[in-house]
Amino acid sequence: MRVVRVSDGLSLRDDAGETLRLADLWAPRRTVQGEAAPAADRARAVLARLAQGRRFVRYAAEPAQDRYAIPQVHLVRDDGLWLQRALLQAGAAQVDPWTDREAVRAALFEAEAVARHAGRGLWRTPSMGRRRADSLDARDRDRFRIVVGRVESVGRGDLGVFINFGRDWSRDLTLLVPTGHVRAMGGMAGLRALEGRTVEARGVLDWWRGPFLRVRRPGTLRPLAPADDAE
């Protein structure tokens, strides 16, 4: 297939007229106002430079479609360049993992770390980099955020397992692992083992009495090694 059009930092059209979305990534789009607009333009420009007019081999992702029924794919260029890896290393995208394949997730996070360590692209914008759990406010609502903090407590509730980063729910970040996703996220024992550890969580932030984030998929909640925590 050949890419004939790049719509935004994640979406493109092939020479058969099909719209595709790059799987397992997040990038800002112009539909979000304010801080995201310049970043969205840069993300689209990087994707266009790497993909416009080039030929790729297409690999299906899981899930095969997004919620709008657009196919989600991984793309490898005819010279061997894995498009997802290249975008992450350039700082034009961040990992939003849906894949169940641990090796793929590991490769994506490794590529993302290259840009994070170098301060490239999205990582130059403080609100889009790693955020301390105590730095969030209502302006972060409905935006993709990567948050780092120390887990204060883990407990089960009616909706699932709650992971608390403090004792003041009106101010401190709370994560929810919904009941149906607890096993995929390591089970109750694995989640309780996070108490006292520094972790990274990522996803679209909600605001329910305070900052609130649902984590449902492996990779959206990760314990950090001491060296990684020190960044």
**Domains of the chain and CATH, by start:** 3-124 (2.40.50.90), 130-229 (2.40.50.140)
- Greater model confidence, 68 or 51: 51
Global pTM?
0.93
Omega of the bond prior to 38 within 30 degrees of 0, cis?
Answer: no
Contact between 122 and 131 under an 8 Å Cβ cutoff? The reply is: no
Helix (H, G, I), strand (E, B) or coil at 225: coil
Among 18-22, 31-35, 151-155, 195-199, the range scoring the smallest mean pLDDT is 31-35
Contact between 219 and 97 under an 8 Å Cβ cutoff? The reply is: yes
Read off the pLDDT of each residue in 148-158 and give the average, rounded to a whole number.
Answer: 95
Token pair recorded at residue 53 = 């007019």
Helix (H, G, I), strand (E, B) or coil at 162: strand
The whole-number pLDDT of residue 149 equals 96
Helix (H, G, I), strand (E, B) or coil at 23: coil
- Greater model confidence, 167 or 142: 142
- Beta strands 71-77; 144-150: pairing state: unpaired
Angle of CA points 206, 179, 93, to nearest 5°: 45
> Per-residue confidence at 231, pLDDT binned at 50, 70, 90?
low
The whole-number pLDDT of residue 34 equals 55
The whole-number pLDDT of residue 38 equals 87
Read off the pLDDT of each residue in 68-77 and give the average, rounded to a whole number.
Answer: 94
Cα→Cα distances 126→13, 134, 229, Å: 31, 14, 17
Closest CA to 113 of 137, 134, 94, 126: 94
Helix (H, G, I), strand (E, B) or coil at 222: strand
> Which tens digits make up the pLDDT trace of 165-216?
998 867 899 999 999 999 999 999 999 999 999 999 999 999 988 899 999 9
The whole-number pLDDT of residue 230 equals 47
In whole angstroms, give the CA distance from residue 148 to residue 162.
Answer: 16
Q: What is the mean pLDDT of the chain?
A: 93
The whole-number pLDDT of residue 32 equals 54
Give the number of other Cβ atoms within 10 Å of residue 193's Cβ.
Answer: 14
- Greater model confidence, 229 or 26: 26
- Greater model confidence, 37 or 88: 88
Contact between 148 and 224 under an 8 Å Cβ cutoff? The reply is: yes
